Structure 1
Amino acid sequence: MASPTAVPSPALHGRDAELTALLRLLDAARGGSGGTMVLRGARGTGRSALLGAAAGLADGFAVLTTRGTVAESRLPYAGLHGLLRPFADRLAVLPAAQAAALAAALELGTADGGLALPAAVLNLLASAGRPVLACVDDVHHLDPPSREVIFFVARRLAGEPIALLIGAGDTPSGAGDGPAVPDDVPVLELGPLDAAAARRLAGDLAPELAEDVRASLLEVARGNPLAIVELVGSLTPEQMSGAAAPPETPPRDGRLWRAHTARLAALPGATADVLLLLAADPDLDTATLLRAVRPGCALTALEPAERAGVIVRLAGDRYDFRDPLMRAVAYSAASPARRRAAHRLLAGLLDCEHRRLRRAWHRAAALDGPVEELAGELAGAAAAAGPRDGHPAPYLALERAAELTAHDDVRAARLAAAADRAWHAGLPWRARSLLARLRSVTVPEEVRDQAELVRGNLELRSGRTTSAGEGLLAAAEALLPRDRDRAVRVLIRAGEASYLAGDDRRFLAIARRAAALRRPDDPAAVRLMFEYLAGTAATFRGRHREATGPLLRVLELAPLVRDPSVLVWAGVASLLLGDDVRALRLATRAVETARARAMPATVPQVLELMIQAEIWMGRYASAAANAVEGLRLARESGRLNSAGQHLAWLALTTAVEGDEETCRIRAASAIALAGAHGLGLAGAVGHWALAQLDLAAGRHADAAERLRATARPDGANGHLVVRVMATPHFVEAAVRTGDRERARAALRVLDGWVSSTRSPDRRALAERCHALLAGPGEAEERFAAALDLHRGGCCEFETARTQLLFGGALRRNRRPGAAREHLHGALETFERSGARLWAARARAELRAAGESVRSPRPKVAEKLTAQQYEIARIVAAGATNREVAARLFLSPRTVEHHLRNIFTRLGVRSRVELARLMS
C-alpha cells in the first residue's frame, strides 16, 4: 500500500477574532496594564497554535512557557518549575521569605501553604524589567499546586506589564481536585473552524487535493483543525486523486484518535456501553435510552462521562457527545461484536410505524436476519424517507442496502438511487463516489440512464456546462419513453446549461425540441416549463412581442407551483417582462420553500434570481448580503458554478461601492471559474463589474472594451442577457470614446426589449441612452423624460446616475444653476449608497459648476484608499476581522491584507494605536 503523503505545517485560519484578542492583551501588557486570558477548546481546536502565535507577536517581551502533562501531574510544582526556569537566577531580587518559599517549591516541591510562594511568583514576573508573556498550555494536566499558584497570579495582573495566556481543554475538571479553570478568570472559547477557514486550511496542506476528496474530509473533520491536518496527512496518493475512498475517521495512529480513546478508556465499562448506544444512533432520546438499559442505570452510567466532559445534556432531555469527533471514535474503536449488539438492542426498541428507517438501519447494521431481506427493508424505508427524517440520511441507508445486495442489477439501482439522494442533500462529492462504484457492477439500461442524469446534474452545478448540456440532453431522450414529465424537466435543465454557458443556439434548439412534446393535459409545473422555454426563446430571437404571451402565462401558472427550481424559471420570466417586484416576490417564495422543504443545496440557485432582481432595483447592499450567503452555501454544497455566479454578483456590488482592489479580486476569481467551467453568464457579469469600475473612474475606453467582450459567445465572457443589461453602461462608454455607431446598434437591441415591457426603470435607461446620443436641445428633453420615468420606478441609484449625466450636460451647456440642482440629488444618493467613486464624480461636477464642495473624509483618510479608510474606521470601533468582513462582504483574509497596509501607511503597530489615531 502506498505511504501517506507528507504535508507542510499549516497556517492559522479562521482565528481572526482570537488573534485580535491576543493582540489587545499584549498591547495592554506593553502599556503596563496586563491581564489573563484562558483559551479553552476541545483537543485539536488550536490552543497550542494560538499560544505559539502569541509568542511570535510578543516583540520586546520576555516569553516563558510550560505545558501540563499527565506524567507530571502528581509532581508538586512541576509546572511552576517548567515555567520559571529561565528566571531561576533572579530569586535574589525578591524579599528573603518569598525567595526561600519559591526556592523550596522549585527545588524540593514543597511549600508552607501561605502567601509567600504565589506572591513570590507574581513579584518575580513583575521584576523582569520588560513586559512578560507567560504561556501555560494544557493547564488541565498541570499539577494542582502549580495550577493554584498560576490562577492566584492570574487574578492580580491589573497594573502589571504581564500577559498570562492559559490553554485549557474542554473537560470541566482538572487532573486534581477542583475545576481546571476557576469561574472568575476570563475565558475565550475555541469552537470549530467555519467552512471557509476549513477549506483554506485543507488547501494550504494539499493544494492538489481533488475537490470531492477535500469536501469529504471536511465533513469528517467537523471544523477541527488538527483533524484536518491528520486526515490530509494520512491520505495515500490514490486517495488524494479520488481513485480510492477517503478516510471516514481520524487516523488511528494520530494524536486525536489516541487522545479520544484514552479519555474513553478511563471511563467505567458500563459507561462505555451506554456511550456506544449514543454513538450508534445520534437521534437517541433519553426515553429510549432508559428502555435500552435498566431504568435508572443508564443515567447513572452516563454520570462519569458527563463529569469528564465527554457528553453534554441537551434541551429536550437528550445527551450528545461534546466533541463530534468523539462519537466517530467511540463507535469505530468498539469491536464489531459490540457494535452489532448495540444495533440489535436499538432495533428492538424502535417501532416500525414511526421510526421505520432507523429500525431498518439498526437491523441491517446488526445483520439481524437474512441479508437480502434486510437490504430490501432498508432500501424501501430509505426510498420513503423525507429529508427531515433524521438519522440515517437516506443516501447512507441506500448505500448500505447496496452493500448488502448480492444481485448486480439491484445493487446498481440502489447505488444510483443513493447517488441521487446524496446529490439532492448537497453532497456532490458523495454522489460522485457512489456513481464511481457503479463501474464495478453490471448496470441495466434504466439504471444507467438514472446515473447519467445524476452525472448531468453534477456537471450542471459543479462541472463544465457543455458536458452538462450534452449529458442532460441524452438523459432526457432516454427518459422520454418511460417518464415524460421527468424527461421534460431534464430537457429544461439542459436548456439551463446552455443559458449559463451563453450558448443561445443550443438553447433555441432545445426550445424547439420541447415545443414538439407539449400536450394540453400536462400538469401546471410542466406547462409552466414549456411556456418558459417558448417565451425565453422568443426573447433571445428578439421577438419580444411574441414572447409576451408565453411569459405572462408562466406568471399565471406560478401560484400553482411549489417546486423552488420551477419558481426560479417563473422569476426569470418576470425579469424578462420587466416586473422586478414580482420577480423578487417569486424568489423570496422560492427561498422560503426550499428552506421549509430542507433543500439547502437549492438555495444558492434561487438566491441568484433574487440578486438579479435586486440589481435591477438598485438594492446593491441587499444583493451583496444575499450573494455572500449564496457563495457560502454554494461552497458548502459543492455547487461551484453557483459559487462563480455569486462571486460575479459580489464583484458587481463592490464596483458600485468603488472598491477597486476587492472588485478586481472577485471579478478575476469569477472570470477564472467561468473560463474553467464554461460559464458565459458569470464571466460576462465579472467583465461587466470591471467595466462599471472603469466607468466610475472615468476610464471610458477600458469600459467600452470590456463590455464589447460580453457580446462574444465564447463560452466564458459572452452572454446575451448581460449584454442587454449592460447596454446603458456601454452606450455611455462608447459615446465618450466616439464610437457612436456601436452605441446606436446596442441601443436598438435594448429598445426592442424595453418597448415590450411596462417597466419605467428600463424605459428610463433607454431614454437616457437616447439623450447621450442626441444633440444639445434634444438631449435635455430626453434627460428630463428619463427622470420623469425614473420617478415611476424604484431604482434610486440609476436615477442618480441619470441626474449626474443630466447635470453634466447642463453644465457644459452653460446652465450651472440647473446643473447643480440635479448634481446635488445625485451626490446625496451616491453618498447614502456608499458609492464612493460616483460620489467623487458628482462632487467634481459640482465644483465645475461653481460650487465649493468639501470631501467628507478626515485628514487621516487622505493616506488611505476608500476601502482602507472604511476598514480602519470599523476596526477602530472595536470590530474583529471577521465582523469587518461580514459588514463589508469581504473575506477575513482580505480584511487582514488591508489592515497590514493600513498599519504601514499610518505608521501604527496595533489596533490600540489605530483607535487612538482615528479618534
Structure 2
Amino acid sequence: MPGERHGPVLRGRDRECEALREVLAAARSGDSRVLVLHGEPGVGKTALLQYLSAQADGFRVTRVAGIQSDMELAFAGLQQLCGPLLDRLDDLPGPQREALDVAFGLGAGPAPDRFLVGLAVLSLLASAADTQPVLCLVDDVQWLDEVSVQTLGFVARRLLAEPVALVFGLRDGGAPVLPGLPQLPIAGLDDTGARELLESVMPGRLDERIRDRYIAETRGIPLALLELPRNLSAAELAGGFASGTHHSAGRLEERFVSRIKALPAPTRQLVLAAAAEPVGDAALFLRAAAYLGIPVDALGPAEDAGIIEFGPRMRFHHPLMRSAAYLAATVAERRAVHGALAAATDPASDPDRRAWHAANASAGPDDEVAADLETSAGRAHNRGGVAAAAAFLERAAVLTSDPARRGSRALAAAQAKRDAAAPAAAQDLLASAELCPLTALQRAQVTRLRAQMEFSRSRGGDLGAPQVADAAAGLLAAARGLDGLDDELARDTYLEALAATMFAGSHGEPGAIERVAGAARTAIGKVTQIHRPIDHLLSGVAELIIDGPGAGSRSLRTALDLWCEQARRNDAGALSMLSLAFPIVQESVGGELWDEEVNRRMAAVMVRFARDTGALTVLPAALAFRAGTCVLEGEFGAAANYLDEADAISAATGYRLIKYHRLHLAAWRGTPADAVGLIEAAAADGTRRREGRLLDVAGFCTAVLYNGMGRYDEAFAAANRSVEYLNLGFGGWCLTELVESAAHLGELDIARHAARALEARAGTSGTDSGLGAVAKAQALLADDEDADRLFTEAIARFERSSAVAQLARSHLSYGEWLRRANRRSDARAHLGRAHDMFTRMGAQAFADRARRELVAGGAKVRKQPVASGDQLTAQESQIARLAADGLTNQEIGAQLFISTHTVEWHLRKVFVKLGITSRRQLRTRALPG
C-alpha cells in the first residue's frame, strides 16, 4: 500500500489506512486529531488500530481496550490509558494533579469534578507531547466505564494545538457514545478485497461460486472471512466444494462460543478466568488458577486454537472471544471463577475489584460482601465516579439480607444513578426500595427524587415527559412531605419547586407561584435564626412574590452576599446551591433588584468559582449569566464570546445548550435574518415543553427586536402577551418594551397601565438603573413640559449606572421627541450620540432607527457598518483578556479548560490580528469584555 512502512497488511482498506496516516501526519505537525472508527463487530476496527500503532514511528503510544466486566469501576479505563504517562504527573498544576490522584485512587481528598479530571488528562497529554507526539488508542470504547468515556469525550473536544492523536474504536448499536466527534465508518470489504482476504487464509482452492456465496453471506466482514477455515470441516473444505451453513457476522460470537465449548473443561475454566479478569494481569491469573486447582498448562489447547495468548499480559486474539468465553460458561462456573479471582486479588491494593469479584461470586445474600461494596461505593464517589458508586450500591442492595438496610442501599443507589444521568435505572431502584420497609424520611426522599427526575425530563423535552407545571407540583408535594422530617432538605426542595414553577410560568396553574411561595414562607418561618444563604434567598423570594415589588430585598441582598463569600472560599456549600435551583432564582432576583452592579459581581463570582472548582456542569449557566450582564452594558462582542464558550462547554460535556441570553443578544443586535429564526425556534421549543418562561422570554426578545426596527405593532403584540404573567427577572424590562411600543402606536391606556406596573417594580429599587427605566417610561407618556425633564433625568440616571444599552435608547427616544418638538439641533445631538453608541456596540436595528431619525431631521449621515465585536474569536478574546491581566499560559489554560499549547497557539493568532508582538502591549489595547 502506498506510503506504508511496516505493519499488518490490510486488504481492501486503502481509504481507511490513508485517513489514519493523515491523523498521524497532522499530529506530527503539531495539530491535534480525533477520530472515531465505528462499525459492527468483526469489521476490522481493532486491526485498523493495530495498523495505526505500527505506523506511529516516533510517537509515544498508549492504549486501552474496554471490557464489559470492568464497566462499573470508576476511571478504570482512563487510568489504564494514562498509566504510561504518569511520569509527567509532576508537570501538572496542583489542583489538576490532586484531582487525578484522587480519581485514580493514588491520593485522598474530596471528590473532584470529572471535568477537572478531564483538564488534568488534557494537561498530562500536552506535557507528554512536549518531547514527542502522543497517540492514544481506545478500542471497544462502548465497554469503558462511563466516567472514563465522559472524560475522554471532554478531552477530545478540547484538543487543538497539541501533537496528540486520539483514536477510538466503537461498536455500532446501543446508546450513542462520543457524539459530535469526527467519525470514520468502517464497513465490510468490497468484493475484490474480500476475495483476496479469503483466498489468503483458505488452505486450498475454493469453487468460485462457493467462494462468492461466502463473500455474500459474510458481507465482507473480515473476521467472519478469517474464521471460515476454523469453522469448516475438512470434508467441507475438500475439493473446495463446501456446503456449510450460513456464516454471517452476526453469528461470529456464537461460533466463538462453540469453539470454546469444545475445549477441555479445565481449559474452559482458565479461559473464563482470563475473560473475567479485565486487567490481563498474568500474576493474578496464576494465583486464581492455583485457587481453582488447575495447572496453567491446561491453557495450552486454547493457545493452540488461537483463542488466547499467555504472556506478561493475558491477551485474547479478539474482543469477541473474551465475551464469548464468558457467554460459554454456566452461572455456576462464572461464580466459581469470580470467587477465585476475589481470593487472588489483594484487598489492600485493589479492594474495589476484589469486592466486585466477590459480589459476582455470591449466589445469594451476603452481608459481608454488601458492606464491602458499600465501602467501595464511598471510595468511588470520593474519586468522582458517581456511575461506579451507583453500580456498587445497586449490587450491595441485591446482596443485603436485612430488608430495611436493603431499602436504604437501594435508595442511595437510585440517587447515585440519577446523578450519573441514568434515570431509568434510578426509577427501577426506587421501585425496589419501596418494596422494603422505609422510614418516613426515606419515603419522602423517594418522592423528592422522583419529582426531580420528572422535572429534568420535562425540561429535556422527552417524549411522554410530564409538563413542567406538573413536575413543579411534584416538587412542591415532595417539599411538603419533607417538612418536619428534614427541614433543611425541605427548604432546599421548596427552592427547587419555586424554580420549576418559574420555568412553567404562564403555562402553569393560575396562582401556582403564590402557593409555592406561601408554603416556602411557612417553612422558613419555623427557623429561629437563618444562617444559610439558601434560606435567606428562599425567604426573600417568598416575600417578593407574596408582598409585591420591593419586599424581601434585604434578605435577597444578604443571600447573594453570603453566597459570594462562600464561593470566594471555594466552599462546597456554594456548589451545592448552584446544583439546586439557585441559578435561575438568583438571576431572577438580580433582575428584580434593578442593580446591575450586583448582577455583574454575582456573574463574575459564579464564573470564577465554576472555573476554580472545575464545575463544568454549572459553568455554562454562569457564562450565560455573565453574557446577560454584558448585553445590558452594551458589550455585545463580549456577550457573544461568553455565550460561545458556554455553548462549547455544553457540547463538550453533553449538557443542554443555553438559550435565553442567546435570544436576548440576537434581539439587541437586530439582524432579523439571525434573530427571527432563533426566537421562533425557542418559542416552538417552549410550546412543546409547555415551558411558559421560555415562551415569554421569546416574546420579550421579539419586542426588543421589533422596537429596534420601528415595527411597533409587532413589538406591542409580543410584549403585551409576555407581561401577562409575573416573570421575575426580565418582566420589568418587558414592561419598558410595552410602554415604548404602545406609546408609538397611540395605545395610551395600555401604555400608562404598563408604566404604573413598571413604577411599582423598579421605582422601589432605589437604583439609578431602576429609576432611570421609570423616568424614561414616564417621559414617553408625559406632556411636553414634563417630558423634557423626565428624559433628562433618565439619561442622567443611566449615565450613573452601567446600563449603557438603555442609556443609548434613552438618547434615541429623547432625540425622537425633540425632533417632533421641532428642536432640531438638540435632536441631532442626542440622535447622533445614540447612533454612535448603537453602531459601536453592534445594535444594527437601533442604529438604523437613529440614522433614519437623523436623516428626517436634516442631518447627512453615512450608513456605517456596526461593530461586530468579534475581530478576535471568542476564545482569542478570552485568552487576550487574561493575558493582559498578567496570567501565565498555564493559568489561562486552567481558567478556560484548554492546554498550555492551545493558549500559545491562540496568542500567536491574537498578536497577528492586533498587530502587536508582546503580552505587555495587550494591556494597552481595548479588548471585549
TM-score bracket, normalised by the shorter chain, equals 0.5 to 0.7
Match of 2:175 among 217, 227, 230: 217
Unpaired runs of 5+ residues, structure 1, are 1-35, 40-67, 74-78, 80-134, 148-166, 199-213, 231-250, 296-318, 858-865, 875-919
1:130 match: none
Is the CA contact 1:768–1:783 (under 8 Å) kept in the aligned structure 2? yes
2:340 & 2:185 partners in 1: Cα distance?
A: 31
1:537 is matched by which residue type in structure 2? Answer: A
Match of 1:469 among 464, 469, 472: 472
1:686 is matched by which residue type in structure 2? Answer: A
1:494 match: 497
Task: Go from structure 1 to structure 2 and tell me whether the alpha carbon gap of 1:226 and 1:365 turns closer, same or farther (over 3 Å shift).
Answer: farther
2:286 & 2:558 partners in 1: Cα distance?
A: 64
Post-superposition shift, 1:481?
A: 3.1
2:678 & 2:276 partners in 1: Cα distance?
A: 42
CA displacement 1:776-816 (0-9 Å, x = unmatched): 34323322222211221112222222222222222333333
1:53 match: none
Post-superposition shift, 1:487?
A: 1.4
CA displacement 1:418-461 (0-9 Å, x = unmatched): 22123334444554464466688787765443222112112233
2:800 & 2:554 partners in 1: Cα distance?
A: 24
1:583 match: 599
2:355 match: 360
1:536 equivalent in alignment to 2:547: no
Is the CA contact 2:815–2:831 (under 8 Å) kept in the aligned structure 1? yes
2:697 is matched by which residue type in structure 1? Answer: V
Is the CA contact 1:387–1:598 (under 8 Å) kept in the aligned structure 2? no
Is the CA contact 1:402–1:411 (under 8 Å) kept in the aligned structure 2? yes
2:418 is matched by which residue type in structure 1? Answer: W
CA displacement 1:877-903 (0-9 Å, x = unmatched): xxxxxxxxxxxxxxxxxxxxxxxxxxx
1:566 is matched by which residue type in structure 2? Answer: M
Task: Go from structure 1 to structure 2 and tell me whether the alpha carbon gap of 1:342 and 1:140 turns closer, same or farther (over 3 Å shift).
Answer: farther
Post-superposition shift, 1:845?
A: 2.3
1:278 & 1:584 partners in 2: Cα distance?
A: 56
Match of 1:566 among 573, 577, 581: 577
1:712 match: 724
Match of 2:415 among 400, 420, 434: 420
CA displacement 1:171-201 (0-9 Å, x = unmatched): 6788799849999xxxx99999999xx9xxx
Is the CA contact 1:215–1:429 (under 8 Å) kept in the aligned structure 2? no
Unpaired runs of 5+ residues, structure 2, are 22-42, 60-134, 143-148, 154-171, 189-222, 225-246, 260-266, 288-312, 459-466, 874-929
1:855 & 1:168 partners in 2: Cα distance?
A: 61
1:709 is matched by which residue type in structure 2? Answer: R
Match of 2:558 among 553, 566, 569: 553
Post-superposition shift, 1:497?
A: 1.8
Is the CA contact 2:587–2:729 (under 8 Å) kept in the aligned structure 1? no
Which shows bigger deviation, 490-499 or 365-374?
A: 365-374
2:813 & 2:763 partners in 1: Cα distance?
A: 23
2:53 & 2:474 partners in 1: Cα distance?
A: 66
2:843 match: 835
1:756 & 1:489 partners in 2: Cα distance?
A: 29
1:801 & 1:329 partners in 2: Cα distance?
A: 71
CA displacement 1:842-884 (0-9 Å, x = unmatched): 2222322333333346xxxxxxxx99x999999xxxxxxxxxx
2:636 & 2:320 partners in 1: Cα distance?
A: 44
1:792 is matched by which residue type in structure 2? Answer: R
1:602 & 1:549 partners in 2: Cα distance?
A: 26
2:814 & 2:3 partners in 1: Cα distance?
A: 61
1:161 match: none
2:762 match: 754
CA displacement 1:2-40 (0-9 Å, x = unmatched): xxxxxxxxxxxxxxxxxxxxxxxxxxxxxxxxxx9999x
Match of 1:508 among 503, 511, 514: 514
1:812 equivalent in alignment to 2:823: no
1:181 & 1:550 partners in 2: Cα distance?
A: 65
Is the CA contact 1:461–1:639 (under 8 Å) kept in the aligned structure 2? no
CA displacement 1:62-92 (0-9 Å, x = unmatched): xxxxxx995xx4xxxxx7xxxxxxxxxxxxx
1:685 equivalent in alignment to 2:693: no
2:857 & 2:742 partners in 1: Cα distance?
A: 25
Task: Go from structure 1 to structure 2 and tell me whether the alpha carbon gap of 1:390 and 1:348 turns closer, same or farther (over 3 Å shift).
Answer: farther
Post-superposition shift, 1:486?
A: 0.9
Q: Give the 5 Å matches for 1:10-49.
A: none
2:562 is matched by which residue type in structure 1? Answer: L
Is the CA contact 1:279–1:327 (under 8 Å) kept in the aligned structure 2? no
Task: Go from structure 1 to structure 2 and tell me whether the alpha carbon gap of 1:820 and 1:538 turns closer, same or farther (over 3 Å shift).
Answer: same
CA displacement 1:374-427 (0-9 Å, x = unmatched): 223212432465363448621222223234446665444433322212333444
Q: Give the 5 Å matches for 1:181-220.
A: 217-219=175-177
Is the CA contact 2:386–2:419 (under 8 Å) kept in the aligned structure 1? no
1:824 & 1:344 partners in 2: Cα distance?
A: 84
1:650 equivalent in alignment to 2:650: no
Which shows bigger deviation, 355-364 or 548-557?
A: 355-364
Is the CA contact 2:808–2:834 (under 8 Å) kept in the aligned structure 1? yes
Q: Secondary structure at the match of 1:393?
A: helix
Q: Secondary structure at the match of 1:757?
A: coil
2:478 is matched by which residue type in structure 1? Answer: A
Post-superposition shift, 1:709?
A: 0.8
1:396 equivalent in alignment to 2:408: no
1:459 match: 454
1:700 & 1:171 partners in 2: Cα distance?
A: 65
1:622 & 1:339 partners in 2: Cα distance?
A: 60
Post-superposition shift, 1:371?
A: 3.4
Q: Secondary structure at the match of 1:850?
A: coil
Q: Give the 5 Å matches for 1:792-807.
A: 792-807=800-815
Q: Give the 5 Å matches for 1:145-156.
A: none
Is the CA contact 1:358–1:391 (under 8 Å) kept in the aligned structure 2? no
What RMSD in Å do the two structures reach over aligned CA positions? 5.7
2:694 & 2:321 partners in 1: Cα distance?
A: 43
2:357 & 2:634 partners in 1: Cα distance?
A: 54
Q: Secondary structure at the match of 2:765?
A: coil
Match of 2:381 among 379, 383, 386: 386
1:377 match: 372
Q: Give the 5 Å matches for 1:601-680.
A: 601-603=617-619, 606=622, 609-627=625-643, 646-680=658-692
Post-superposition shift, 1:492?
A: 2.0
CA displacement 1:87-109 (0-9 Å, x = unmatched): xxxxxxxxxxxxxxxxxxxxxxx
Is the CA contact 1:604–1:631 (under 8 Å) kept in the aligned structure 2? yes
2:325 & 2:766 partners in 1: Cα distance?
A: 67
1:771 match: 779
2:445 match: 450
Which shows bigger deviation, 364-373 or 453-462?
A: 364-373
2:518 is matched by which residue type in structure 1? Answer: R
2:227 match: none
2:695 is matched by which residue type in structure 1? Answer: G
2:326 & 2:577 partners in 1: Cα distance?
A: 47
Task: Go from structure 1 to structure 2 and tell me whether the alpha carbon gap of 1:550 and 1:179 turns closer, same or farther (over 3 Å shift).
Answer: closer
Name the count of aligned residue pairs. Answer: 634
CA displacement 1:360-379 (0-9 Å, x = unmatched): 33443455997342223212
Is the CA contact 2:407–2:435 (under 8 Å) kept in the aligned structure 1? no
1:37 & 1:803 partners in 2: Cα distance?
A: 69
Which shows bigger deviation, 530-539 or 615-624?
A: 615-624
